[in-house]
Amino acid sequence: MIKIKRIYEKPEPTDGLRILVDRLWPRGISKNDAKIDLWLKEIAPSNELRKWYNHDPEKWKSFQEKYQKELSQKEDSISLIKKLNNENKYITLLYSSKEEKLNNAVVLKELLDKKVILKK
């Protein structure tokens, strides 16, 4: 099962494998406190897209489309998550945005839900 969670939330055993999917390290959190298993920054939106979007809700639909296009060029990272999903009961994609519903992890999870046959 793949889920998403803000990195500032307390790590829990039900998180399973914790993967940070942001390009930049989250502010104010130490690497030890983050309890991440993998930092997959190459799957994050490009710097150009990230700066353009700037968490502006009016740009959300356009951001989704542009990020999905970028993800289509990141098949190696998508394949890695598929492989990890087959090896782990739970995977949690971590993000740092204050926007819980309008962030790159939401877009990535939607894509993975379509592409990955999740374990029951």
pLDDT at 116: 56
Sign of CA dihedral 2, 50, 103, 108: negative
Average confidence score pLDDT of the chain: 93
Domain ranges of the chain: 2-115
Q: What is the DSSP string of the chain?
A: -EEEEETTSPP-GGG-EEEE--SSPPTT--HHHHT-SEE-GGGSPPHHHHHHHTT-GGGHHHHHHHHHHHHTT-HHHHHHHHHHHHH-S-EEEEE--S-SSSSHHHHHHHHHHHH-----
CA distances from 65 to 36, 45, 108 (A): 28, 11, 11
pLDDT of residue 119: 42
Q: In this model, does residue 117 exceed pLDDT 70?
A: no
Residues 24-60 have pLDDT tens digits of: 999 999 988 899 999 999 999 999 999 999 999 999 9
Residues 59-81 have pLDDT tens digits of 999 999 999 999 999 999 999 99
User: What's the confidence (pLDDT) of residue 56?
Assistant: 94
pLDDT of residue 120 exceeding 70, the answer is no
